[in-house]
Amino acid sequence: NAGVMQNPRHLVRRRGQEARLRCSPMKGHSHVYWYRQLPEEGLKFMVYLQKENIIDESGMPKERFSAEFPKEGPSILRIQQVVRGDSAAYFCASSPQGRQKLFFGSGTQLSVL
């Protein structure tokens, strides 16, 4: 049973480009969460999704950021027109029924040049 899979592991983008981060939850998990981690900081909640629905996006910037979790395929976190401040590690986590014990992916390290 594969764990939470994120790709790519590392992503380098120039300012103004788009970044797409993918997350495949554990088998049987229909709840996906995205977190951002800056150096020396804790995990900051961004968005919580269930299949085809955004449940809570209160932690996500209003502009340039969007997330989806389609019926088929992985969850996607999309950052348009990236800026240097977007450089961070982005973690995805999944759970079978929402909250409590989350299973984390290995993260995507986004670097914006």
Which residue's CB is nearer to another protein, number 17 or number 106?
Answer: 106
62, 71, 84, 101: which one contacts another protein (CB under 8 A)?
Answer: 101
What's the min distance (Å) between Cβ of 79 and another protein?
19
Measured in whole angstroms, the distance separating CA 111 from the mean position of its chain's CA atoms is 15
Listed residue (93, 88, 94, 43) closest to 65, CA to CA:
88
7, 20, 45, 68: which one contacts another protein (CB under 8 A)?
Answer: 45
**Considering only residues 46-75, where is the footprint of another protein by CB under 8 A?**
48, 55-56, 58-59
What's the min distance (Å) between Cβ of 18 and another protein?
23
Residue 22 buriedness (CB in 10 A; 0-12 / 13-18 / 19+): middle
1, 41, 62, 84: which one contacts another protein (CB under 8 A)?
Answer: 41
For residue 91, state whether it binds another protein (rule: CB under 8 A).
Answer: yes
H or E element in which residue 56 lies: strand 53-56
Which residue's CB is nearer to another protein, number 19 or number 48?
Answer: 48
Q: Give the contacts of 11 (CB within 8 A, at least 6 positions apart).
A: 19, 21, 108, 109, 110, 111
